[in-house]
Structure 1
């Protein structure tokens, strides 16, 4: 028994709308004889005529019903094809991304400022959170792309190095360290009141660990940290990009002399999950903008 095919329904609907074989054949890009043969096959399969006359300008009751059903099916089929092709070409889809706040406030706006038209039909969800939360969300498959520091915890992740972010000392303009012409040595901070934070706590240098062990003030919100530094309560240590993303007006950033005091930020996704074309395109745009904003940063595979 012959099976009904979508192109048979499309051919019939085109003839019904055109009212004649010649115009329908032009629309379909086929010969009138080929279209006529297709209609005969369809009518033979159904066992009843679809048109009242050979002129094809008036439908039978069956023809009217088939046209109604065919147009509904063709619309659904065409929408499905469009969605599949759009997904494959990265013009449709849904991308969930979580990033550390410093990247959310610097690189991500540049990405969408430059490439927003590439994602006009893509649903993009952006969240900013700390690195440990991002790794947790990745492990639960709740996000497609993560931008975070990973330390030693990269099992099961595909990772590309995004940028190196050097730590520096942040102080008020009238603080004695503000007038220093040279990068700050750890020894210069021994007598300072440190406002510790979760980012600076990750610096592994023994001098930094000793400094943090003595710190009596600790804050995790950048707004609170900057407010206390602005009030000259103490100094803090933060990566340069975090300072750029925060409300750091009228504060001074002084680089550390310790060249190893850097955090490494990575572009992450689960190694066992297939990434959508839209997410892959977004990854490439993020890498491109990060390379421009952080000269010398080179993407490399670590998985």
Structure 2
């Protein structure tokens, strides 16, 4: 009888989201800027839920979700798969120009127009695709460098090999060598959110995580 009650309690706890596992894929900027506080609070409330976290680029997190590797993904949605997922918007992350603090573009503290980037050695990274449907797409056509790794990107930037565009969340909060300047023409923002497989009910522990994450982001605005 004691074993029966223990099993019943365990089942009830699982149904309430107190036990289980969450598998999350996220872009690095969210992993470093937004998730630490959310994960800390979630772990405090639900200490018996195991959390698996993997970071990838925006295409990668979506692919991991569609492949069944994770329960939920955080990032900017790859529109190629928008019919296959349910997207919950969280915030709009503005795009800006990144260069060294002694670069001529650093003088435009209030913002940079895209034409100022013409003639500059441009470093293309995965987030530059956000410019594709804007007049600024022209700077993507013939980049001097193309990198897929954020560490390599910042290394090239700090060594004054070029300039790039990045969402604000992807830029380090404190950097001695680089500066992030808003792109003001065109104004471009990436929509950050959580996405899951369309039509699939999330496990209780994952639902609790999405609610907490959403509440936390709203509290920042």
Q: Tell me if both proteins adopt one fold, taking TM over 0.5 as the criterion.
A: yes
Matches within 5 A, 1:107-256: 107-152=34-79, 153-244=81-172, 248-256=175-183
Relative to the length of structure 2, the TM-score reads 0.92
Distance 2:42 2:176 in 1: 29
Task: Quote the offset at 1:197 in angstroms.
Answer: 0.5
Distance 2:209 2:141 in 1: 40
Give yes or no for contact 1:239–1:263 (8 Å, CA) kept in 2. yes
Relative to the length of structure 1, the TM-score reads 0.68
- 1:101 maps to 2:28: yes
Give yes or no for contact 1:106–1:244 (8 Å, CA) kept in 2. no
Point out where structure 1 has 5 or more consecutive residues left out of the alignment: 1-9, 11-73, 296-303
Task: Quote the offset at 1:291 in angstroms.
Answer: 2.3
Task: Quote the offset at 1:156 in angstroms.
Answer: 2.6
Matches within 5 A, 1:278-289: 278-289=205-216
For residues 121 and 195 of structure 1, do their structure 2 counterparts lie closer, same or farther at Cα, with a shift above 3 Å needed?
A: same
- 1:89 maps to 2:16: yes
Distance 1:216 1:143 in 2: 35
Point out where structure 2 has 5 or more consecutive residues left out of the alignment: none
For residues 227 and 176 of structure 1, do their structure 2 counterparts lie closer, same or farther at Cα, with a shift above 3 Å needed?
A: same
Give yes or no for contact 2:136–2:186 (8 Å, CA) kept in 1. no
Give yes or no for contact 2:62–2:78 (8 Å, CA) kept in 1. no
Distance 2:209 2:77 in 1: 20
Distance 1:236 1:248 in 2: 15
**Displaced runs of 4 or more, over 3 A:** none
Task: Quote the offset at 1:89 in angstroms.
Answer: 2.0
Q: Which has the larger radius of gyration?
A: 1
Structure 1 or 2: more strand by fraction = 2
